[in-house]
Structure 1
Amino acid sequence: MNTANLQLEGLYLALAALMGSLRRHDILSESAIDAALAEAERAANDDSEIASERSEANRQAVAFPIRLLRLANAYGTAEMPSFSELAARVGQHNHQNEREEQ
């Protein structure tokens, strides 16, 4: 696996842990974190100049970390699944959306 991918995996897990800490210390609520991440995903999708230049696979790649963090945020105080499980669930969600759009 590419070293950059491994570094990103660690970064996503670190961000998920920070989000959990913010929630446990009542600094941000689950809904506030989700709203911020949803805003980031909308911004990524709404950038028409970039979107027109990128393939669908590249647009999905940009959305992946945001979707993974939103999913991690939804776990709340429950034990966080592994990165590979979270990634698989994001992939399943993407495939479900693709089928619904067809």
Structure 2
Amino acid sequence: MNTANLQLEGLLVAVAELTRLLVRKGLVDETEVELALANAELAIRADQQRMGQLSGSNADAVSFPIRFLSAALRTRKETPLSFSELACHVGQSKPGRIALPRPAS
């Protein structure tokens, strides 16, 4: 496996844990993070110039980190994150079905 891929795995888990920590401490709420991640994925997919250069699977790969972080946020807060389990879940879910969470009132 490419070393860069391994480094990205570690980075994704670290960012996911930091995000969950921010939510647990009440600095942001889960809905705000989900909205930010959904907006990030929409922005990536809306970049037609870039997406037009990629195959379907490569376009999905660009969205993978965002979808991974979203899936990690939805895990039970006390459960340690498993990269392989979350990656499998993200890989099996359908991209393009982005449900924007409603902002907190």
What TM-score range do you get, normalising by the shorter chain? Answer: 0.7 to 0.9
Match of 1:62 in 2: 62
CA distance in 1, matches of 2:49, 2:71: 28
- Please give the TM-score of this superposition, normalised by the length of structure 2: 0.85
Q: CA RMSD in A?
A: 1.5
Which structure's relative contact order is higher, taking Cα pairs within 8 Å and 6+ residues apart?
2
CA distance in 1, matches of 2:70, 2:5: 19
Report 1:16-35 matches (<5 A).
16-35=16-35
Cα-to-partner distance string for 1:5-41 (whole Å, 9 max, x where unaligned): 0000000000001001101110011110000000100
Residues 1:45 and 2:42 aligned together? no
Task: Indicate the structure with greater helix content.
Answer: 1
Match of 1:83 in 2: 83
- Please give the TM-score of this superposition, normalised by the length of structure 1: 0.88
Aligned residues: 96
Secondary structure in 2 matching 1:20? helix
Where structure 2 has 5 or more consecutive residues not aligned to the other structure, the ranges are 98-105
Report 1:1-20 matches (<5 A).
1-20=1-20
- Runs (4+) of structure 1 exceeding 2 A deviation are none
Secondary structure in 1 matching 2:28? coil
Where structure 1 has 5 or more consecutive residues not aligned to the other structure, the ranges are 98-102
